[in-house]
Amino acid sequence: MDVVADLGASRLYRAPGESSHQQPQRWFNTADITVAHQNNLLKQLNQQRRQELFCDCNVLVEGQLFRAHRNVLFASSGYFRMLLSQGPDGLSDSVNATFDVFSPETFTVILDFIYSGQLDLSSHNVIEVMSAASYLQMNNVISYCKNFIKSSLDISVKDEDSERCHSLSETCSFTSGTGEETSEQQQQGPCSVSPPPALWTRDNSRSQSGFMGKESDQETIAQSLNTNPNSPTDDINAEADDLQDPQDPLYTLPVTERRRGKGGTKRRTPYSTRSNQHEDLAIEEARSQKAEKAEELYATLPYIVGVIGHFNKDSNPIMRFKCPFCTHTVKRKADLKRHLRCHTGERPYPCQACNKRFTRLEHLRSHFETIHQARKLVCRKCKCQVTEETGHVVCEGTRRYRMCATCIQEVGCDEIPMDSLEGTNDEPALLLGVDGEEEGDTKGSWMVTDDDDLAEDSGADLIIQQVDDSDEDLQ
C-alpha cells in the first residue's frame, strides 16, 4: 500500500491493487480506520465483559461482584496497574479486588466508562465518581468530572442570574475518545461537554460546614474549580476560586500546595503599612463579598454520608462519614468538617500577633503560646530549664522566647531587646518590634478582629473570635 498523502497525523493510503491510474480511487484515512477499529475493539471487549467471557478479574464493591478483564483494568487505572503488577503471579487465573470506599453504582459508572468511553455523570454522582476515579487513579475521569463541575457551576450562576427555573435533565454524558487521551484532553476534558444542570441538588443532604476540595492532593479540586475569576458571570466559579485564592486571607492554599511552592515557607509581613486607603476599602469590600459567596457556596455543597463496609462485633454496620473529595472516612461529622478544611484551605483562626492563620483554634493557641508568649520554660540558647523568674523573655519582632541569665550575659543585654515582663503572662502587647518588620499590632488576643482595632488592653485574657475576614494577605 502506497502512502500518497500525509495530512498531519492521518495519512491517506491507496487501496491495494489500485494504481494511480485507476479510477475511481478509494482513499483510506488511517485516522478513521484507527477510530473505527478502536471502537469496534472496545465494543467487543464490553460485550465480552457483559457476557463474562474471558473475565479474569473479580472486583468486589461493597459486596457486589463485578467481572472484568485485567488487561483492560490495567490499561485504564493506575490503581489496577499497581495492583495487578504487584500480584504474586501475573498469570494467575483470577485476580480479586475489593473496595468499600465507593458504591457499586459509582463503580458501575467507572466500569462502563472503561469499556465504552461513556461517562454517565449526573449532579448526584459526580462527586462520588470523581472521588472513586481519584482512588483508582484515572486522571481522564477526574478531568471529565472537573469539567462537569465547572459547567455545572456556570449553569447554576446563569440560572440564578436569570432567575429562571428550568427543569433540566439531571444527567449528562461525557464521551471520551477511544484509547488514550491527549494531554490537552486530560487538562481540558472533552470538548463536547454538554452543560449539565445545576450540579448541587437542593435536597436536604447539605453540609452545614464550609468545605470544598477533592482528593488527597488538594490541587485537584482547586483545578476543578479553577475558572476565570474575572468573568462577570462566573460568580460561583469565582467563589470556588476564592477558596484557593492566594490573595484571600480567609482561604489560604492547602498546606501541601504551599509547601510545594518555591522558596519554601513564605514569611509574611504582618500589618503591612496601608498606603492606599481607597484600595484597602475596595479590597475589604471584595473580601467581604468573597466571604459571603464562599458561605453561599458552602451552603450549596453536598456532603456524602455513607455506611462503609465495616462491621462491628455485632455485625452492625459502623456509620462513617466519607469525605466527598478523598477516600478518607471519619466517625464523626464534626471530624469530617474539620478534615474538609484541609481541602478548602480555609483558615478561620488568625493570629493576632503575626496574622498567620490556622485551621484550628488549638493550633493557633499552640502557635501563640510558643511563638508570642514564651510559654516554654526553656532557654532558647542553651536549652536549659528555666523558671518564670529565671527565664528572661526576649523579644524578636513578635516572637518571644526565654533565655537564662547566663546566656543573656553571654550575648549581651544591649543586643537583646528585653521584655519588660517576666512571667507567663507576657503578651505581644508589649512587644518591642525590634526588627521593624512587624509593627502596629500589639493586641493581646490571638485573633485578628474584623475592624482591626488595636485594643489597648493587652492582658492575658485571650479573645477567641472567629473572623470571616481580614485585611491582611497570606503568610
Partner DNA sequence: CTGGGGATGGGGCCC
Partner DNA sequence: AGGGCCCCATCCCCA
* Residue ranges binding DNA (CB under 7 A): 209, 254-256, 259, 264-265, 328, 330-335, 337-339, 341-342, 347, 356, 358-363, 365-367, 370-371, 376, 378, 383, 464, 466
> Which residues are bridge partners to 59 per DSSP?
66, 97
Residue 296 DSSP SS3: helix
CB neighbours (10 Å) of residue 46?
A: 18
CB of 370 to DNA, least distance (A): 4
- Cis preceding-peptide flag for 24 (omega within 30 of 0): yes
Nearer to DNA, 37 or 331 (CB): 331
CB of 229 to DNA, least distance (A): 23
CB of 352 to DNA, least distance (A): 13
Nearer to DNA, 293 or 356 (CB): 356
CB of 235 to DNA, least distance (A): 26
Nearer to DNA, 20 or 466 (CB): 466
CB of 383 to DNA, least distance (A): 6
Nearer to DNA, 207 or 237 (CB): 207
Closest CA to 304 of 94, 132, 63: 132
Cell numbers for 207 = 453540609
The residue to which cell 462513617 is assigned? 320
Nearer to DNA, 8 or 263 (CB): 263
CB of 440 to DNA, least distance (A): 19
Nearer to DNA, 147 or 329 (CB): 329
Nearer to DNA, 11 or 337 (CB): 337
Rounded Cα–Cα distance for residues 104 and 287 (Å):
42
Q: Exposure of 102 by Cβ count < 10 A (0-12 exposed, 13-18 middle, 19+ buried)?
A: buried
Rounded Cα–Cα distance for residues 3 and 9 (Å):
13
Tell me which amino acid residue 471 is: D
CB neighbours (10 Å) of residue 140?
A: 21
Cell numbers for 162 = 436569570
CB of 113 to DNA, least distance (A): 28
Helices (H), 12-125: 30-50, 70-76, 78-85, 104-116
